[in-house]
Amino acid sequence: MKRARKTSQGFGRFVRSMVGLERAAVREAFGEFLAAGVATAAQIEFINMVIEHLTDQGVMDPALLYEPPFTDVAPTGPDQLFDEEKVARLFIKIQAINDSAVA
């Protein structure tokens, strides 16, 4: 148990990394990025990849947004798809989800 806490930065993160998150909850959290008629196909694909990662892993290091497979959609990261304000909100949402796993 102590090893799991240390390795995963807390027991809550460890459990979440094992079971992931409910897809509907994650989609709702990122709804503003997927608003109909506002997002491009590439933006939708990118956010869906974030949702998929969080659904599977439960937490996410925002630095991953600048690595494959995310760079397959946006080679220079989210900055290529979103304005500075939306990138900041994306990081804030990911961090809020990560923080909610801390136990």
**Could you state, in order of their start, the residue ranges of all structural domains in the chain?**
2-99
Q: Which pLDDT score, from 0 to 100, does residue 8 have?
A: 45
Residue 31 contacts residue 64 (beta carbons within 8 Å) = no
Residue 65 pLDDT class (50, 70, 90 cuts):
very high
The percentage of the chain sitting over the pLDDT mark of 70, rounded to a whole number, equals 77
Closest CA to 81 of 35, 51, 45: 45
More confident residue, 8 or 12: 12
> Cα(73)–Cα(67) distance, rounded to whole angstroms?
10
Q: Residue 42 CB: number of other CB atoms within 10 A?
A: 12
> Which residues make Cβ contacts (< 8 Å) with residue 76, sequence separation at least 6?
66
Average pLDDT over residues 33-37: 76
Average pLDDT over residues 35-56: 90
Q: Which pLDDT score, from 0 to 100, does residue 1 have?
A: 44
Does pLDDT of 43 surpass 90? yes
Strand, coil or helix: what is 91? helix
> Cα(95)–Cα(89) distance, rounded to whole angstroms?
10
Q: Which pLDDT score, from 0 to 100, does residue 60 have?
A: 93
Work out the mean pLDDT of the chain and round it to a whole number. 83
